[in-house]
Amino acid sequence: MRLEKYSFGVGDRFAHQGKAQLNAMIKAKQLGIDIVPVWNKSYREHSIVHTKPDSVRNEADTAVKELSWQNSYYVDADHINMSNVDAFVDASDFFTIDVADYIGKQSPAKDIEVFVEKYKKYIGTLNIEGINEAIEITEELITKIASKVLLAVQQAGKLYRHIESKKGNGDFVTEVSMDETDLAQTPIEMFFILAAIADENIPAQTIAPKFTGRFNKGVDYVGDVAQFEKEFNEDLAIIAFAIKEFGLPDNLKLSIHSGSDKFSIYAPINKAIKKFNAGLHLKTAGTTWLEEIIGLAAAGEQGLEIAKNIYENAYQRFDELCGPYATVIDIDKAKLPSIDEVNSWTSPQFKNAVTHNLSCPEYNLNVRQLLHVGYKVASEMGNKYIDALEKYEDIIAEHVTENIFERHIKQIFL
Ligand SMILES: [Zn+2]
């Protein structure tokens, strides 16, 4: 199974927007951009909304069938580890192996020694096409990197082989993700991570490093865009080099776990993937759920009522809902409007506050982030919420498609 050059990860908490999401890929195709959809849902999301991986498979298959989508599509077991992978095996054909927990933990000294011995040949000055400055590599540097990442990659190898034993060789796409850590990986760390991945015989087709800056959920990038651009370009250069050096799959590409809506880095990404003729996997999730809320608000009447209920409930349960996402949100509580204020909002007011339009003065990134983590509230509403999704399907679908196509796909891939 060979992942295409451009792929787009779509998440869908309530499994009702599969067609609307796929329509964005269809619109892209009409512009001559081939992007394959990957429906992703993590163990965390499944746990919060009480769903099983089968539901994602079902949603993807149904959307593809109903819209007669002829290209490939995938179902991603997002951020799995050894403790939860088994539930995903049947439904998924894309596995995001998460080894972030092992980064910084040491593998046996003997393994580090063997690794350093093997890669001693890179000691000295390394010039890589596409990177301006030469890279100085010392034995200490290789040892330091191996101490930090080798165990994590060994764990990825174990998990890969576990999946392979169940699904068979070559029957799925493998991603290795290290994004949920505090410290960004440098391009040279990426180089030795890829060496270790090759040593473990993991046929990784995508790799998700932690990039510099903050990737808060559902809102724009926070950080030094120029620094991001430099690292991103260097990562692309490293990957192209490592494919040749280590015999990794030649379609290996970067995966960006965007947390959705990192608009200010989209232009540098667009430029870089064109410069390097590189592929890209962009993972999003919560942006679709927020479009559901926006669509409900825009529908008015009962839709707006539900959107307000969700805000009210989320506001009251701030700590509980934000807890699991503490490291990936930054909400200024003082800037959240009161429940009374939001309850007085008209449709356009609600919609403008949540819609990710940076030039709209009513846009409130605090409201947006709180609602982002508020999907648990919608889940608890049960049929009331699902019925509203069905009742206002048309207007919601319009928002979901337009968001993915206009704000994401066109900015990154066109
Ligand atoms: Zn991630």
Q: Which two tokens stand for residue 135?
A: 């890279």
| Residue 410 three-state SS | helix
Tell how far the Cα of 114 is from the centroid of ligand 1, in angstroms: 30
Tell how far the Cα of 178 is from the centroid of ligand 1, in angstroms: 8
CATH 3.20.20 maps onto the chain at 6-285
What whole-number distance in Å separates Cα of residue 218 and Cα of residue 331?
Answer: 12
Tell how far the Cα of 3 is from the centroid of ligand 1, in angstroms: 18
pLDDT bin (cut points 50, 70, 90) of residue 353 is very high
**What is the tens place of the pLDDT at every residue in 295-328?**
999 999 999 999 999 999 999 999 999 998 888 8
User: So what's the pLDDT on residue 120?
Assistant: 97
**What is the tens place of the pLDDT at every residue in 251-297?**
999 999 999 999 999 999 999 999 999 999 999 989 999 999 999 99
User: So what's the pLDDT on residue 346?
Assistant: 98
Q: Are 257 and 179 in contact (CB under 8 A)?
A: yes
Tell how far the Cα of 126 is from the centroid of ligand 1, in angstroms: 30
H-state helical runs in 168-300: 187-199, 225-246, 263-275, 286-299
Which residue pairs, CB below 8 angstroms and at least 24 apart, start in 310-315?
310/371, 310/374, 310/377, 310/378, 310/381, 311/339, 311/342, 311/367, 311/370, 311/371, 311/374, 312/339, 312/342, 312/343, 313/374, 313/377, 314/370, 314/371, 314/373, 314/374, 314/377, 315/339, 315/342, 315/370
Architecture in CATH of 6-285: Alpha-Beta Barrel (3.20)
Q: In this model, does residue 123 exceed pLDDT 90?
A: yes
Tell how far the Cα of 98 is from the centroid of ligand 1, in angstroms: 8
Tell how far the Cα of 346 is from the centroid of ligand 1, in angstroms: 35
Tell how far the Cα of 136 is from the centroid of ligand 1, in angstroms: 30
Tell how far the Cα of 180 is from the centroid of ligand 1, in angstroms: 6
User: So what's the pLDDT on residue 181?
Assistant: 83
**What is the tens place of the pLDDT at every residue in 140-196?**
999 999 999 999 999 999 999 999 999 988 899 999 999 888 889 999 999 999 999
Residue 345, Cα to own-chain centre: how many angstroms?
Answer: 32
Residue 22: is it exposed, middle or buried by C-beta count within 10 angstroms (0-12/13-18/19+)? buried
Q: Say if pTM beats, i.e. exceeds, 0.85.
A: yes
User: So what's the pLDDT on residue 73?
Assistant: 98
Give 257's strand partners: 283
User: So what's the pLDDT on residue 160?
Assistant: 98
User: So what's the pLDDT on residue 72?
Assistant: 98
Tell how far the Cα of 177 is from the centroid of ligand 1, in angstroms: 7
